[in-house]
Amino acid sequence: MEYRIEHDSMGEMRVPADSYWGAQTQRSYQNFPIGTEKMPAEIIRAFAVLKKAAALANHRLGKLDEKRCALIGQVCEEIRRGELDGQFPLAVWQTGSGTQSNMNVNEVIANRGNEIAGEKLLHPNDTVNMSQSSNDTFPTAMHIAAVTAIRQQLIPALDAMIAEMSRLEKENEGVVKSGRTHLQDAVPIAFSQEISGWRSMLEKCKGMILDSEKGLTELALGGTAVGTGLNAPAGFAEEAAKAVSELTGYQFRTEENKFHALSAKDAVVYSHGALKALAADMMKIANDIRWLSSGPRCGLGEIFIPENEPGSSIMPGKVNPTQCEAVTMVAVQVMGNDTAVGIAASQGNFQLNVFMPVIIYNYLQSVRLLADALNSFRINCVCGIKANREKMNHNLHNSLMLVTALNPYIGYENAAKTAKLAHKENISLKEACVKLGFLTPERFDEVFHPEQMV
């Protein structure tokens, strides 16, 4: 491999000749050979947004000339399009402020910009990082990346699943089945009502996630090193937030208290809590579906789901609810991520939280996994759910809890006696009720209508 010599405030470093990064990136690359987790692409693209926004703000405030501003913006657009993806090699497990990733972006923008210009117009610190600090840029990138991921990945996936649940709900109107509580037989429910519960969970979670965006739209940019705004001109924070809004199409604003913005990560914790709520509901929905489809002969078997692949290397013909299993594993991962995010956010000592890379890594992983799981689950499972009406009807009329319909006519205690006798002697509720003398056969038929109990 060929190298070139770059330097920073600590001296010279050998850097791969074909890279745009510089000495500070190289130091981090060599000093943190930890794990395989790299800084998420969403963060790099968010950095490109904020660097262009900072350049625009500096230009509007008279600190940066038009040529350099345009050059920074041009490279930032290359980064946003993914054209320079190979230039960001740093690990998540680096400095907790994300300083080295901030400098990675600064160095790539400066070196690529100078290459485009054919002369050295940009300096990583003095030009690209003008009016900024890693301490306010990294939390800003976190918020931009979080809002963008929610809007572009998760909400579309949620909307598609909600629409599919609505279709399934309409398709199954009028189909009555046995309800279950405590994993035991309960009174009847319409299958469409059961599906409506799933749909409503997703709708409620969508609302929670969107509500949690408010804190994420507040940006730390302008606070610089400790929240005082040292070396940033008056009005920079407001202009930068305005430019971020223009570039993303989402409404951002400057955080009123920069001391809070740098040291607290409560907005991300709150938002990830909404992601955890979605994970919990997805776990419930996936479990319901796999249990309802259990069998095919020794389980509940009340619904059919798509058979996508062989389920066993030893048992011929076995097919498993694999999409449900994938969803439940994703849910567990998101719940684990929530613990990591919460603990990391509690470590905002004095003027800075130094757990920011792991916070945003987990947050973005949760969004990505939830969105992908929703899409896969919808396409490969939910779209193909069909009610086993024959089995539903059989289970419904075999349920002892239908006796609840007799409460108004024979009372709770007599109804309980009826159910117990029917279970003990393996006879129908009608036979038990008549045998006990509580109702005549004609009166039983007159008042007993399971399909009307929903």
Which residue numbers are catalytic?
182, 312
Contacts of 404 (CB under 8 A, 6+ apart): 187, 415, 453
State how beta strands 253-254 and 218-219 pair. Answer: parallel
From the number of C-beta atoms within 10 Å of its C-beta (0-12, 13-18, 19+), residue 382 rates as buried
> Which 3 state secondary structure label does DSSP give 348?
coil
> Whose CA is closest to 330, among 365, 363, 380?
365
Pairing of β 386-387 and β 303-304: antiparallel
**Residue 94 to residue 28: CA distance in whole angstroms:** 7
Rg of the chain taking only CA atoms, in angstroms = 30
Contact 293, 304 (CB under 8 A): yes
Rounded distance, CA 120 to CA 96, Å? 31
- DSSP class of residue 296 equals S
Strand partners, 13: 6
Distance CA 315, CA 312 (A): 5
How many other C-beta atoms are found inside a 10 Å radius of the C-beta of residue 183? 7
**267 within 8 A of 218, measured Cβ to Cβ:** yes
Could you tell me the sign of the dihedral formed by the alpha carbons of 3, 28, 255, 61, in that order? Answer: negative
CB atoms within 10 A of CB 127: 23
CA distance 20 to 112: 6
3-state DSSP assignment of residue 253 = strand
Ranges assigned E (strand) in 55-113: none
Q: How many CB atoms lie within 10 A of CB 173?
A: 11
* CA 7 from centroid of its chain's CA atoms: 40
**Phi, psi (rounded to 5 degrees) for 346:** -80, -5
Q: ∠ CA(255), CA(370), CA(47), 5° rounding? A: 40
Q: What is the CB-side half-sphere exposure of residue 77 using CA atoms within 13 A?
A: 7
